[in-house]
Amino acid sequence: GSVRGWRKAIAPDEVGTGSVLLSDFCSGLKKIGFAGQAMTLWKALTRAAGGSTSVGLEHFEPDFAEQLDALAKTLVARFEGGALQAWGSMERDHLGRANFSEFERFVNAQKLIPRHADVHLRRVFEALDMRGLGTIGKEDFLFFDHWAHRRFGTPLSTDEELGEREEAEPWSPPRRPPTPEPSLDDFRKFLSQKYVTPARAWRVAIDLRGVGAIASPDFGKGCRAVGWKHKHHGLFKELAAKGGGLATMRTLDPDTAAAIDDLNEIISKKYGGDIHELWSQALDPADTGMVGRTEFVSEVAVELGMKAEAAKLLFNVLDTNGSGYITEGELMFVEVCESQLSQMLRSQQRRQEAPASMFHSVSSPALSTSSSPHAALLSSFAPTEKANIASPMKSTRGAQARAFANTHRIKHMFVADSIHQHCRSKTTEMVEELRYVNHLAMRSTPQGDVFRHTSQFYRECVKRLQVLQKPPQEESDEESEDEVEEEEG
């Protein structure tokens, strides 16, 4: 109603009974979006106030002010504690709120309306309900005290405990405990579900430029690229603590890094450090140009003595496009994956061992006098020679992503041309092996053959036929003759 609007928007105090100046009046009209003649209204109100420079609710709604006067005067006279005591005496279903029926029942039961007064309780209730909830609380009901204090000068109640009944704290569902930030192990599991291994995710989406170590901004871009929706700063700090201030593939996937170390050690001992010899002798002796997953795992496990699980980790980090085959060029990654990182670490070690004055820059004193630990760390990792403008270090992630896609496309084209030759070579080997096995199983041996040659089989058959055709007496004579010949022989 209009009274509630006056109390909320125009009156300068929270209760809504204070005097309103012209500035307050104009500000309130602007707040409610009134676009009429504000000065005309203000002049009408000031005339009702007898030319005063301030107006109140009694000048805005004089009829309603008379109703409040009658009700507040009777309430203050009936209850010594004022509205606070009256609120404590009101019967209501809810300890903290009262609806219109309970308010009306209380006013009629206490006979707070004088006989000669015409009080509209519904309008009074709506004026008290500041929030428009259909119920009023203790703070709303205390408006009567403030109105009586303004109109009749009665003191405000200061005893907060008078007539007050403690209200039980309303029930609310328990707060959900804060979700803990995912750990580094959770990040590794996420990468394994999406990219098979964390090391493959490192090559495909995180370290696109292939420098071996990245700082926090590039790590954050990589996390967003793989779809990680949590904060990455804690993960980077944990990786950097183990990687000398930067995140590396070794700190992200130590199992794959250990498998690469084992393979490099075997290549160094067994093949003289030449990875081409490993490829041509053990992995691709038929020179098909490619090796499948099953063949790679079996050959590495059997020929090199590595575990099958380590061989699978190696294949996954090499096969970045997931084609199921790798080439000799992809195998070269095990040799160059940390070559640049090792140079950086050696450079850092030299800087730590040598005096700091040896590395002061004469041409750039601002860099030499920098006291920032992060700047000192990055300067220690700086390469000794300036990188080529066409190198991956000088490119952006977008450029490297396109280059990575091009290499995958080229590999698919090569696989499509070489898969027939590879399958034909493998089929020929399998057929030769089966022929050799069948030859061993079916070849003739002196112990397994009854007749060593066909003529012997023919003579034995002729003898059998002659025996069947002769009488029994002749058979016995011939048998005795054969026995005598055998004894003489």
Q: Averaged in consecutive runs of 10 residues, what is the pLDDT profile of the chain (489 residues)?
A: 82 83 87 85 88 86 86 86 85 86 89 83 87 86 86 71 52 83 92 92 84 84 90 91 84 91 88 86 81 83 84 89 83 78 57 48 34 40 47 59 66 60 61 68 58 69 80 58 54
Token pair of 12 as six digits: 């300068």
Rounded to 5 degrees, φ, ψ at 376 are -65, -35
Q: Which residues make beta-bridge pairs with 214?
A: 247
Half-sphere exposure of residue 149, counting CA atoms within 13 Å on the CB side? 15
Q: How many CB atoms lie within 10 A of CB 67?
A: 19
Centroid of chain to Cα 456 = 84
Residue that is written with structure tokens 């820059």 in the block: 361
Q: What is the Cα–Cα distance from 82 to 91, expressed in whole angstroms?
A: 16
* 0.75 exceeded by pTM: no
Amino acid letter, residue 199: A
Q: What is the Cα–Cα distance from 30 to 36, expressed in whole angstroms?
A: 10
Q: Which residues make beta-bridge pairs with 400?
A: none
For residue 84, CA distances in Å to 150, 158, 168, 425, 430 come to 17, 9, 18, 99, 100
Rg of the chain in Å (alpha carbons) = 50
Torsion angle defined by CA atoms of residues 87, 90, 95 and 96, in that order, rounded to the nearest 10 degrees? -40
Token pair of 6 as six digits: 């006056």
The confidence score (pLDDT) of residue 424 equals 59
